[in-house]
Structure 1
Amino acid sequence: MTQKSINPHNNELLGEYPTHTSSEIDQILDRSQLAQGKWKKENIKTRSDLLLKFSKVLSDNKQGIAELISLEMGKPIKESFAEIDKSIWCIEYYAERASGLLSIERIDTEAFRTYVTKEPLGVILGVMPWNFPLWQVVRFAIPTLLAGNSIVIKHASNIPQFSQFLELLFTRSEFPEDLYLNVLTDRVGVEQMLHNHYIKGVSVTGGTKAGSAIGSIAGSVQKKSVMELGGSDPFIVFPDADIRKAAEVAVRSRMINNGQSCIAAKRFLIQEKAYQRFLDAFLDELNRLKVGDPLKEDTDLGPLATASILESIDLQIQQSIKMGGRVVIGSTRIEKPGNYYSPTVIVDVTPDMPVMGEETFGPVAAIQTFSQDYEAIQIANDTEYGLGASIWTKDHERAEQLIPQIEAGNVFINQMVRSDPRLPFGGVKRSGYGRELGSFGIHEFVNLKSVWIE
């Protein structure tokens, strides 16, 4: 079997890469286990110093990394550069705080001494997506490595070039051999790895269906799992909000990465009195975007990552139109080679339409109005997902009252939902469980060992 690398800008084949055989996968896990046995003995400062060397490798290779990301999955290159910068920030954040995050925690009890240590689990599997191919690996791998674990990555099958290049970058940063290893495989290979006794946990970022399948297998063999899955985030706007700013951020939140982000705003819930002002401002901002070659610095929207994603988003939109949705702009494929789709706004939507009831991975914004606050909350929570929500109002008291009513792992007031190394990130409901980033993220794959000494 092979994995194909296809340029989504023109659908030209960039290369084919053989997947690892079952025996090769076992050998990779053997190597990872041996590397982890040595790595866990290194002190925190040594681990931190090596992380900083990796951040320098990323910085020194920015141009090549950004070009490969944009070439292989279609992200506008200015966003690829931003992804690299954010990854470097994450590495530096953890490296600077490692000793505190992993220190022994003293507990006051009646014993002579009581404390909690944070010890590594072993080899941790990461099943990672294509849409943020560097950032989503970094936010999982860096704290997990820092805690003393080793990493085996199964990246998305449409970015085999980048997945192998990332392994090479880890090697260049002087990390111990085999501490970070990449596996080209499919779901069968993932299941094989989960049943291997060396794998002690798995972190998945991806679709809800894939996450559920992997989580089920991990549970059957009693292995820790963290799931960051799909999202259908509401973006709620009240009349007292800064409408122009809200619209500007709304377009950025919806269209970032060509609309292919789990935490993108997807359902826009606008109070009736603000609806027309918001719609006009949203369309004004949308019309400023330039669609084109992702390798050009002035491109705002590139192609969708694969032909199947293009087919899926078009089907969701066309079905929603048949059900009564009204298109204000877009809803067509752009007549050029590659997986291009026009930025789309659809209004008069209802909860049963695909653009509202399903996760949409593409440049489409579904806009619905509401009258009362309770209606906004009701619509916002009327989804199987619970990743994030954005609320726009100048009334902070109202915002504070709404926050606990939102069923999501992240609520941002007057800002778009985004991940941040300083904050825990994750969802509820079918958006997953567990947390990445912050102090919570580094503790997901450690053994919190309680010690009691009389």
Structure 2
Amino acid sequence: MPIATVDPATGETLETFEALSGDEIERRLATAESACARHRLSDFAERARLLNRAADLLEEDAADIARTMTTEMGKPVKAAEAEAAKCVKAMRWYAEHAEGLLADEHPAQRDVSDSGAERAIVRYRPLGVVLAVMPWNFPLWQVVRFAAPALMAGNVALLKHASNVPRTALYLQDLFTRAGYPEGCFQTLLIGSGAVEDILRDRRVAAATLTGSEPAGRSVASVAGDEIKKTVLELGGSDPFLVLPSADVERAAATAVTARVQNNGQSCIAAKRFIVHADVYDAFRERFVAGMRELTVGDPMDENTDVGPLATEQGRDDLAELVDDALGKGAAALCGGQRPKELERGWYYSPTVLADVTPQMRIHREEAFGPVATLYRVADLDEAVALANDTPFGLSSNVWTRDEADVERCVRDLEAGGVFFNGMTASHPGLPFGGVKRSGYGRELSGHGIREFCNATTVWHGA
């Protein structure tokens, strides 16, 4: 895939970029190693000063970088502006809290004495150079939610961003440079996916994090495993959205629309499978389908647009194939089910709700990365939980209920990294984020995320 900015609203190639040469990659690795030796010795006050300065600059740049993101991957510009604001918030959160999150831990004196020590502590030290392989769907947020904690922990970052968002990738390096970070603390590598293995195998790279597809995660994890290097993976998701008899159906349906089409439906944590109890199915279906039909599809630069184009032509075609497979095997399109006829240019797909979905259809098991929802009727909570878990993924989940017994059952039995009750799944700086099963492993954000790329060092002092 060429490294290029291609406007998904028109299909027009706006700019192409040359991949870094082998000599330049070597120079970047040497620079990162040198920067790491210095940055790991900085104190939390200095790291916080730099990260807060980066947050200030991003806040000033928000409107411009939002338009860059929209141009490169098609999200509505109002959503791009919200993404920039979320990044600012996360930067400031880590600047404020990192020192406390990585403070020395003091084991109970009983345990210290049992070990034969006079005293002992656990200290968190940075691992070193971390390679981040990041996707295009949240081109700013996915990077910042890794970089903010990694830099505050004393690590340095190498970014291999998706090949269709090079302008955003270069902006990120420029942002951290303007904030005053020493050369090499954050570097963007404009490279193809074929160059990742050699970089990950390089002795100067200590660990890697990847957000992306299952095949990409498998590839990076296998190389890192061979090199015995730490990885964090956030992969696909096919999140269930359960609506149970005690739910506020009107609010659930309105939230369901947003949950399905956020980021043009191209989000790992977007709700995708809507599993509704028979007692409230008809009422939910009516409201949900009506809400999906009312969405405005069009120019992502227009503030009134709800759903823009998909990021790539291949992504649009893959989504259409999933829908066509389901329709050909008996699914019913309650709305959508095709490309919008009025938008001849660009990679658009109509907001779609499919009912009568069966396990024989690909969409029952595969992630639909676009504004397409599957709707299921279930007889009881047992059937709802079983259907929710009938997926290779386990990123997050949504449950709408006012019944505490339902709450406890879902927390116990849903196979997911998060369970959100009466609200939409979202990532927050103070809460751990990640999945189970083929959605990956490890956690981002919160204290869990900042400690992923730290060496938890036991410091033991004999009597």
- The AA in structure 2 aligned to 1:433 is Y
Aligned partner of 2:129 in structure 1 is 123
Shift of 1:239: 2.0
Aligned partner of 2:432 in structure 1 is 424
Equivalent residue for 1:151, pick from 157, 164, 168: 157
Shift of 1:266: 0.5
Shift of 1:201: 0.3
Whether the 8 Å contact between 2:3 and 2:192 is mirrored in structure 1 is no
CA distance in 2, matches of 1:41, 1:157: 34
1:363 paired with 2:360, answer: no
Aligned partner of 2:251 in structure 1 is 245
1:67 paired with 2:67, answer: yes
SS of the residue aligned with 2:406? helix
CA distance in 2, matches of 1:423, 1:353: 35
CA distance in 1, matches of 2:439, 2:330: 28
Aligned partner of 2:404 in structure 1 is 396
Shift of 1:452: 0.8
Whether the 8 Å contact between 1:87 and 1:134 is mirrored in structure 2 is yes
1:353 paired with 2:392, answer: no
SS of the residue aligned with 1:118? strand
Equivalent residue for 2:202, pick from 177, 196, 200: 196
SS of the residue aligned with 1:152? strand
CA distance in 2, matches of 1:367, 1:2: 37
Which ranges of 4 or more aligned residues in structure 1 deviate by more than 3 Å? Answer: none
Shift of 1:397: 2.5
Q: How many residues align?
A: 454
Aligned partner of 1:300 in structure 2 is 306
- The AA in structure 1 aligned to 2:452 is E
Alignment map for 1:246-395 (pairs within 5 Å):
246-335=252-341, 336-395=344-403
SS of the residue aligned with 2:428? coil
The Cα offsets for residues 374-432 of structure 1, whole Å up to 9 and x where unpaired, read as: 11111111110000110111112221122110000011111111111111100000000
CA distance in 1, matches of 2:308, 2:87: 22
CA distance in 2, matches of 1:255, 1:192: 37
Shift of 1:447: 0.5
Shift of 1:23: 2.3
CA distance in 1, matches of 2:427, 2:411: 18
Whether the 8 Å contact between 1:25 and 1:189 is mirrored in structure 2 is no
TM-score (norm 1): 0.99
CA distance in 2, matches of 1:283, 1:317: 16
SS of the residue aligned with 1:277? helix
The Cα offsets for residues 159-181 of structure 1, whole Å up to 9 and x where unpaired, read as: 11111122111111111112100
Aligned partner of 2:233 in structure 1 is 227
Aligned partner of 1:27 in structure 2 is 27
CA distance in 2, matches of 1:163, 1:361: 22
SS of the residue aligned with 2:409? helix
Gap regions ≥5 residues in structure 2: none
CA distance in 1, matches of 2:99, 2:135: 30
- Root-mean-square deviation (CA, aligned residues, Å) is 1.0
CA distance in 2, matches of 1:247, 1:2: 40
The Cα offsets for residues 275-313 of structure 1, whole Å up to 9 and x where unpaired, read as: 110011102222331111111111110000000001000
Whether the 8 Å contact between 1:22 and 1:189 is mirrored in structure 2 is no
SS of the residue aligned with 1:153? strand
Shift of 1:351: 2.6
Aligned partner of 2:414 in structure 1 is 406
Aligned partner of 1:52 in structure 2 is 52
Shift of 1:2: 4.5
* Identity between Structure 1 and Structure 2 (%): 43
1:140 paired with 2:146, answer: yes
Aligned partner of 1:11 in structure 2 is 11
- The AA in structure 1 aligned to 2:399 is I
1:172 paired with 2:178, answer: yes
SS of the residue aligned with 1:112? strand
CA distance in 1, matches of 2:4, 2:44: 39
Equivalent residue for 2:191, pick from 175, 178, 185: 185
CA distance in 1, matches of 2:286, 2:23: 59
CA distance in 1, matches of 2:410, 2:236: 23
CA distance in 2, matches of 1:67, 1:188: 29
Whether the 8 Å contact between 2:293 and 2:335 is mirrored in structure 1 is no
SS of the residue aligned with 2:311? coil
Equivalent residue for 1:434, pick from 429, 436, 442: 442
TM-score (norm 2): 0.97
CA distance in 2, matches of 1:46, 1:138: 18
Shift of 1:116: 0.6
Gap regions ≥5 residues in structure 1: none
Whether the 8 Å contact between 2:272 and 2:372 is mirrored in structure 1 is yes
CA distance in 1, matches of 2:208, 2:128: 11
- The AA in structure 2 aligned to 1:332 is Q
SS of the residue aligned with 1:367? strand
Whether the 8 Å contact between 2:2 and 2:163 is mirrored in structure 1 is no
